[in-house]
Amino acid sequence: MLSFLNPPSAPPPFSRYSQMVSAPANYRWLHISGQVGADRQHKTAQGFEAQADLAWSNLVACLEADGMTVQDLVKVNVMLTRASDVPASRVARDKALNGAQPASTLIIVAGLANPEWLIEIEGIAAKAA
């Protein structure tokens, strides 16, 4: 079973995530490439909230394709192109993660591979083999 930890010697999380996650030796790992707010036809959603919801849905779809859920997420990295989207990003994350609190990093970047993209999310998950 994954252990979600916030050690007393480190500062508490700034939001809903865990400072660290530990997985036992017998777990299998899934590394998910960056997911963006585009659909299966590569059409980019309009607006940050729509892109964030779609990017999280795409990440969840990758998890489910390998028999995992958001509860199996060990770490997520979220990249935003605008700092002003941080509050909306947290809302979308909390909705998608449904109480799961993986380790998390949020980064503001100058741009993503497509200038229309406002968010990209990558994940690492682990589950008992």
pLDDT tens digits along 34-80: 999 999 999 999 999 999 999 999 999 999 999 999 999 999 999 99
Residue 12 confidence (pLDDT): 93
Going from N- to C-terminal start, the domains of the chain cover 3-128
Rounded to whole angstroms, the Cα distance separating 7 from 16 reads: 15
Kindly indicate the confidence band of residue 117, based on its pLDDT and cuts at 50, 70 and 90.
Answer: very high
Q: What is the mean pLDDT of the chain?
A: 97
Rounded to whole angstroms, the Cα distance separating 120 from 66 reads: 20
Residue 89 confidence (pLDDT): 98
Q: State the distance between the two ends of the chain, measured CA to CA, in whole angstroms.
A: 11
CATH for the stretch 3-128: 3.30.1330.40
Residue 64 confidence (pLDDT): 98
The Cβ of residue 126 has, within 10 Å, a number of other Cβ atoms equal to 19
Phi-psi region of 91 (alpha: psi -120 to 50; beta: other; left: phi over 0): alpha
